[in-house]
């Protein structure tokens, strides 16, 4: 056994909390670093909850299993029982923890490349907050690590409960007549989704399964994946293609023409079908969410599920059906939903399945493309510059704040001026032609994200393209 002080280990680790969870390079997530974060999380949780078991789940990254073994070792050292749930979508693990009233640790880097990973923490009542992150970093716990980490046996209970969540709420014939392709790649839920869709009556076609990790980013869908959806639709005569990011908390859903839906549009349509009366969404989402009238009350937040969750807690004091969703498509259900004598329990953490299944059920009455076309004509686009240092992003945003009109000319936008600036998260520029450019450093990786909004999808795509090219070349 080796002895450590958690605070010392964390300070020397290069691992930090980002937009959602602690993220960093795999090479920095040593067993003792995983153990230190686990020890501090448990120390904070012990002060507020009574429990004897801690659930652990992983995604399909090569590094995730060994990280889980390290977390399990320290859970045992702290006097608790580790319950290893195996490869499971993050919302599946979170839902199980909520139902069992136990803490949980999810080992996942979500959409970021396989050379990085992360830890997401859940109290017995849900995802930790930003104040919890501060408390975790402030703890200093002595702990020990065994020289050889024990192997872990998988308990299927969490996966089974996640499947049951959807197959018990939606009618058994809800997807009858639909032929749905599931782009499996390396998604943590790839073995569960076919079971759920088939149980609801769909004819399922499995597509694109990968033995190596595929870092799908639902906010920056690759040209290859755009083309794949169209080809699969025609080749297999599909009604839609469904996929997720690596840990299954962000959805990708295509319409019947193979066009991927933007995550915020998916969230808006899902909310309308579920009868949501109040929603919290990040400032990067499409402005039609508030303007459409489909959701009576909309609150804008900083980007990241902890900020959305904080806003949801306030909305619950005033409204009955409350939800949140993000530009990446992750859907957070803050209140129970009652429909046709069935109840869908709240799951206030990002989930990929609910918005996708809801919209697929609705397309039995009205095609997905028709539902999208019925919305006001505002279109969003987004992409990122990878390996773009945080210091470089900070310098760029300083220039934008100091002289935005000059900077947008460098972007190639002439005879246009800045009409407004929102600094809720990054810098969001409202232009006098009503277009929007939003720049924001990623909280999880050395990346700069650009979001744009315009009157056509082509214009929004071009705004993102020319902005990122200019930034790469001139800043």
- Boundary residue ending a domain (111, 137, 158): 158
Dihedral sign from CA coordinates of 385, 255, 328, 379? positive
The answer to whether 382 and 220 have CB atoms below 8 angstroms apart is yes
pLDDT at 164: 98
d(CA 466, CA 473): 11
- Boundary residue ending a domain (373, 401, 434): 373
pLDDT at 222: 82
Looking at the fold, whether 81 and 208 belong to one and the same domain comes out as: no
d(CA 326, CA 46): 31
The answer to whether 375 and 268 have CB atoms below 8 angstroms apart is yes
Is 163 within a domain? no
Q: What is the CATH number of the domain that holds 447?
A: 3.30.310.50
Describe the crossing of helices 130-138 and 31-46 by its angle, rounded to 10 degrees. Answer: 110
Distances, alpha carbon 379 to alpha carbons 131, 245, 382, in Å:
35, 22, 11
Is 388 within a domain? yes
The answer to whether 106 and 119 have CB atoms below 8 angstroms apart is yes
Looking at the fold, whether 409 and 384 belong to one and the same domain comes out as: yes
pLDDT at 113: 81
Q: Give the per-residue SS3 of the chain.
A: CEEEEHHHHHHCCCCEECCCCEEEEHHHCCHHHHHHHHHHHHHHHHCCCCCCEEEEEECCCCCHHHHHHHHHHHHHHCCCEEEEEEECCHHHHHHHHHHHCCCEEEECCCCCCCCEEEEEEEECCEECCHHHHHHHHHCCCEEEECCCCCCCCCCCHHHHHHHHHHHCCCCCCCCCCCEEEEEEECCCCCCCHHHHHHHCCCEEEEEEECCCCCCCCCCCCCHHHHHHHHHHHHHHCCCEEEEECCCCCCEEEECCCCCECCHHHHHHHHHHHHCCCEEEEECCCCCHHHHCCCCCEEEEECCCHHHHHHHHHHHCCCCCCEEEECCCCCEEECCCEEECCEEECCEEEEECHHHHHHHHHHCCCCCHHHHHHCCCCCEEEEEEECCCCHHHHHHHHHHHHHCHHHHHHHCCCCCCCEEEEECCCCEEEEECCCCEEEEEECCCCCCEEEEEEECCHHHHHHHHHHHHHHHHHHC
Q: What is the CATH number of the domain that holds 15?
A: 3.40.120.10
Is 165 within a domain? no
Nearest to 282 by CA among 258, 254, 263: 263
pLDDT at 224: 87
Is 166 within a domain? no
Residue 213's φ and ψ, nearest 5 degrees, are -70, 130
Residue range(s) defining the domain that contains residue 53? 2-158
pLDDT at 39: 98
The answer to whether 355 and 240 have CB atoms below 8 angstroms apart is no
Looking at the fold, whether 390 and 369 belong to one and the same domain comes out as: no
The answer to whether 183 and 221 have CB atoms below 8 angstroms apart is no
Is 436 within a domain? yes
Distances, alpha carbon 323 to alpha carbons 20, 195, 287, 314, 371, in Å:
18, 26, 17, 12, 20
The pLDDT tens digits along the chain (475 residues) read 679 999 999 999 999 898 779 999 999 999 999 999 999 999 999 999 999 999 999 999 999 999 999 999 999 999 999 999 999 999 999 999 999 999 999 999 887 888 999 999 999 999 998 899 999 999 999 999 998 999 999 999 999 999 999 999 999 999 999 999 999 999 999 999 999 999 999 999 999 999 888 888 887 788 888 898 999 999 999 999 999 999 999 999 999 999 999 999 999 999 999 999 999 999 999 999 999 999 999 999 998 888 999 999 999 999 999 999 998 899 999 999 999 899 999 999 999 999 999 999 999 999 999 999 999 889 989 899 999 999 999 999 999 999 999 999 999 999 999 999 999 999 999 999 999 999 999 876 789 999 999 999 899 999 999 999 999 999 8
Looking at the fold, whether 37 and 185 belong to one and the same domain comes out as: no
Is 61 within a domain? yes
Looking at the fold, whether 234 and 338 belong to one and the same domain comes out as: yes
- Boundary residue ending a domain (373, 407, 424): 373
Looking at the fold, whether 367 and 218 belong to one and the same domain comes out as: yes
Is 249 within a domain? yes
d(CA 93, CA 161): 9
Task: At 408, list the tokens.
Answer: 């947008």
Looking at the fold, whether 214 and 316 belong to one and the same domain comes out as: yes
d(CA 150, CA 147): 10
Is 355 within a domain? yes
Nearest to 251 by CA among 291, 286, 219, 222: 219
d(CA 113, CA 354): 26
Q: Confirm whether 369 is a catalytic residue.
A: no
**Bridge partners for 440 per DSSP:** 449
Q: How many CB atoms lie within 10 A of CB 447?
A: 20
Looking at the fold, whether 277 and 423 belong to one and the same domain comes out as: no
Which residue shows structure tokens 């869709």?
197
d(CA 189, CA 91): 10
Length of the chain: 475
Task: At 238, list the tokens.
Answer: 């599909």
pLDDT at 306: 86
Number of separate domains in the chain: 3
pLDDT at 91: 97
Looking at the fold, whether 106 and 123 belong to one and the same domain comes out as: yes
Looking at the fold, whether 133 and 190 belong to one and the same domain comes out as: no
The answer to whether 333 and 271 have CB atoms below 8 angstroms apart is no
Nearest to 121 by CA among 140, 102, 141, 99: 102
Looking at the fold, whether 336 and 391 belong to one and the same domain comes out as: no
The answer to whether 452 and 467 have CB atoms below 8 angstroms apart is yes
Looking at the fold, whether 236 and 294 belong to one and the same domain comes out as: yes
Query: Which candidate in 110, 254, 284, 287 is catalytic?
Result: 110
pLDDT at 38: 98
Question: Which residues have C-beta within 8 Å of that of residue 47, sequence separation ≥ 6?
Answer: none
């Amino acid at each position: 056994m080796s002895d450590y002080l958690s605070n010392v280990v964390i300070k020397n680790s290069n691992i930090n909390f980002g937009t959602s969870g602690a993220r960093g390079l795999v090479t920095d997530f040593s067993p003792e670093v995983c153990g230190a974060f686990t020890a501090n999380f448990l120390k904070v949780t012990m002060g507020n909850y009574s429990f004897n078991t801690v659930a652990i789940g992983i995604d399909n990254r090569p590094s995730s299993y060994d990280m889980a073994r390290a977390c399990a070792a320290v859970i045992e050292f702290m006097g608790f029982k580790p319950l290893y749930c195996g490869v499971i979508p993050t919302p599946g693990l979170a839902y199980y923890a909520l139902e069992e009233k136990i803490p949980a640790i999810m080992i996942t880097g979500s959409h970021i490349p396989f050379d990085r990973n992360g830890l997401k923490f859940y109290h017995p009542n849900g995802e930790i907050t930003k104040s919890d992150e501060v408390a975790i970093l402030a703890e200093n716990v002595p702990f020990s690590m065994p020289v050889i980490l024990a192997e872990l046996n998988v308990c299927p209970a969490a996966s089974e409960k996640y499947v049951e969540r959807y197959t018990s709420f939606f009618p058994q014939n809800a997807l009858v007549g639909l032929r749905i392709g599931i782009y499996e790649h390396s998604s943590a839920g790839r073995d569960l989704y076919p079971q759920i869709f088939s149980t609801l009556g769909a004819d399922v076609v499995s597509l694109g399964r990968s033995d190596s990790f595929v870092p799908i980013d639902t906010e920056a869908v690759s040209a290859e994946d755009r083309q794949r959806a169209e080809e699969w639709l025609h080749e297999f005569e599909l009604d839609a293609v469904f996929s997720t990011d690596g840990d299954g908390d962000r959805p990708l859903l295509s319409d019947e023409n193979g066009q991927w839906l933007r995550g915020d549009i998916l969230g808006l349509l899902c909310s309308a079908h579920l009868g949501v009366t109040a929603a919290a969404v990040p400032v990067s989402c499409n402005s039609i969410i508030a303007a459409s009238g489909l959701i009576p009350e909309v609150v804008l937040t900083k980007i990241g599920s902890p900020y959305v969750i904080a806003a949801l807690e306030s909305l619950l004091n005033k409204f009955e059906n409350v939800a949140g969703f993000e530009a990446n498509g992750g859907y957070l259900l803050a209140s129970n939903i009652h429909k046709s004598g069935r109840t869908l329990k709240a799951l206030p953490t990002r989930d990929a399945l609910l918005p996708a299944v809801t919209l697929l059920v609705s397309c039995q009455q009205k095609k997905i493309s028709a539902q999208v076309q019925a919305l006001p004509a505002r279109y969003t686009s987004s992409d990122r510059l990878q390996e773009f240092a945080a210091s470089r992003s900070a310098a760029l945003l300083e220039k934008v704040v100091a002289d935005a009109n000059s900077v947008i000319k460098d972007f190639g936008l002439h005879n246009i001026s800045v009409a407004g600036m929102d600094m809720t998260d990054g810098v969001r520029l409202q232009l006098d032609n009503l277009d929007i450019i939003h720049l924001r450093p990623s909280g999880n990786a050395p990346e700069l994200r650009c979001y744009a909004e315009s009157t056509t999808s082509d214009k929004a795509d071009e705004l993102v393209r020319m902005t990122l090219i200019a930034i790469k070349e001139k800043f």
